Amino acid sequence: MSVTLGIDIGTSGTKSLAIDERGSILASATAEYPCDHPHPGWSEQDPELWWEATKKTVAEVLSKAAFQPEDIAGIGLSGQMHGSVFLDGAGMVIRPALLWNDQRTAAECAEIENKAGGRAALVRMVANPALTGFTAPKLLWLRNHEPLSWDKVRQVLLPKDYIRYRLTGTYATEVSDASGTLLLDVVHRRWSGDLLSKLQIDPALLPPCYESPAVSAKISDLGASATGLAAGTPVVGGGGDQPAGAVGNGIVRPGIVSATMGTSGVVFAHAEELGYDPLGRLQRGCHAVPGTWHVMGVVLAAGGSLQWFRNELGKAEVEVARARGVDPYFLLSDEAALAGLGSEGLFFLPYMTGERTPHFDPDAKGAWIGLTVRHGRPHLIRSIMEGAAYAMRDSLELIREMGVAIEQIRVSGGGARDPLWRQIQADIYGHGVHTLQSTEGPAFGAALLAQVGSGGFASVLEACDATIRLADETPFDPEAHEFYNRGHALFRQLYRDLRGSFAAISGLVRRYQ
């Protein structure tokens, strides 16, 4: 039996799981942690939280499993993309990591585009425009605003790569996650010396970059002592959470697209050729499948908007769910089902942490629009679910516009577990949506990459074909889709109408902080 371990460093928690060569889950464990928001639009985490969660979940997997640590043939890592972990010369964390949904770097994004010679020139260099969530503007922000911290920086790592360092003592990354730094020459799959030079960033701050299934390091004695893993166990490059999740969903050939409704919402498509879009309307990067690429649209607070509702306005449901031993989201969905199609004219804009695709607007805000005295909690909840799906449709339409075929949509994340939200997605997308037998997402994809890297499969495509199976299909209702077509046009108009007001609100907040 070939056992591999996948570890996913998420925004709200870490998941570890073990699989065999058939893709069967042998054991899994999760551990949650908080996210800090010290100012409006800021999002930070202490990397030590990830390490403690990794130790806890790996130990739990090993305690549940019917195998020994020495039986693990390889380990794959996945994690939230774009985050920045700043280390000093001793490998110690200098300050909390700036996360993918942090919006403080608008000025630095403008600085990058200016130094690159404009947006089109930047896209030619690194395939993407400068977005506030990316890693490169975070480096410039630290240099501009915390120069004493910047002077200490000797290494910059992405979240999963910090865990690699703690497990192995090795600095390394891989091409899919590195694509989200804005510092990778995505076409040639290597760091962009041209942009690094223009930004005056020392290339030595960045780790060596591998292909996703390639062995990048081995578990050190210290890593083994901390986790119970066997020293010398190979660790493959792994993948950013979206490319790794795409592997876990079988998005490894043209025509199959994933729509992941997690904290963020991501529409992800495989590409045999990178292509070129001077507007940079979708994120483009190296896929975790060697020699291929991906196009991706991101809604920063898709499921995160419903999570906010649960945490702030759904405390009663959380308590009831705890007493019943059920997921509180299912109780919220039961309420949403009481509201009709379109939430009786109530719209929700899910821009609670700014927005990436298609607006590239760090000032965008969440909003309910159309409230009347007839509306109650069911309408509020359903409008959030509809608003997140409307925002995901924006990315799907961009992907279609750019000539990428969409023959099948596979849904995952929290929005795939709930039948109502699956139906809302199908009706808004105008396309049937499929679920998979495995719902473990990026951790599963990382474990599959480790299967390839350890010799269990000859390729990522072979691994996916051998282990991934469709479960159910939710067809779309043509009448509901026609209604949602009109609703989507209004949804898009509402953002255009409010964009100037969103910027003014941000200016007001900054002035009186």
512 pLDDT band, cuts 50/70/90, is low
- List pLDDT tens digits, range 263-277: 889 999 998 888 777
Residue 280 has pLDDT above 80, yes or no: no
Out of 102, 161, 177, 241, the active site residue is: 241
Sequence-distant (≥ 6) Cβ neighbours of residue 298 within 8 angstroms = 133, 264, 265, 266, 283, 356, 357, 395
Q: Which of 321, 334, 308, 443 is nearest to 30 (CA)?
A: 443
Mean pLDDT confidence for 340-368: 94
Mean pLDDT confidence for 333-357: 95
pLDDT at 1: 72
- List pLDDT tens digits, range 385-398: 999 999 999 999 99
pTM: 0.87
Distance CA 294, CA 289 (A): 10
pLDDT at 189: 97
Reduce the DSSP state of residue 166 to 3 states and report it.
helix
- List pLDDT tens digits, range 253-264: 999 999 999 888
Is residue 432 within 8 Å of 409, Cβ to Cβ?
yes
Output the six-digit token pair for 511. 């002035």
Is residue 297 within 8 Å of 266, Cβ to Cβ?
yes
Q: Give the rounded percent of residues in the chain with a pLDDT score beyond 90.
A: 86
Label each residue of 49-84 as H, E or C.
Answer: HHHHHHHHHHHHHHHHCCCCHHHEEEEEEEECCCCE
Mean pLDDT confidence for 220-241: 98
Distance CA 75, CA 498 (A): 47
Distance of alpha carbon 256 from the chain centroid: 18
pLDDT at 262: 85
356 pLDDT band, cuts 50/70/90, is confident
* 316 or 200, which is more confident: 200
pLDDT at 447: 98
pLDDT at 279: 75
Label each residue of 402-465 as H, E or C.
Answer: CCCCEEEEEEEEHHHHCHHHHHHHHHHHCCCEEEECCCCCHHHHHHHHHHHHCCCCCCHHHHHH
Mean pLDDT confidence for 447-452: 98
Output DSSP code: residue 217: E
Beta strand 3-9 with 13-19 is antiparallel
Mean pLDDT confidence for 179-207: 97
- List pLDDT tens digits, range 31-55: 999 999 998 889 999 999 999 999 9
**Where do the domains of the chain lie, and which CATH numbers do they carry?**
3-249 (3.30.420.40), 303-403+478-511 (3.30.420.40)
- List pLDDT tens digits, range 396-406: 999 988 888 89
- List pLDDT tens digits, range 470-502: 999 999 999 999 999 999 999 999 999 999 999
Output the six-digit token pair for 414. 């929290």
On the CB side of 481, CA atoms within 13 Å amount to: 12
Q: Which amino acid makes up residue 513?
A: Q
Distance CA 442, CA 273 (A): 23
- List pLDDT tens digits, range 56-113: 999 999 999 889 999 999 999 999 999 999 999 999 999 999 999 898 999 999 999 9
Q: What is the mean pLDDT of the chain?
A: 94
Reduce the DSSP state of residue 135 to 3 states and report it.
helix
Mean pLDDT confidence for 201-205: 98
Reduce the DSSP state of residue 487 to 3 states and report it.
helix
Query: Active site includes 418?
Result: no
- List pLDDT tens digits, range 359-371: 989 899 999 999 9
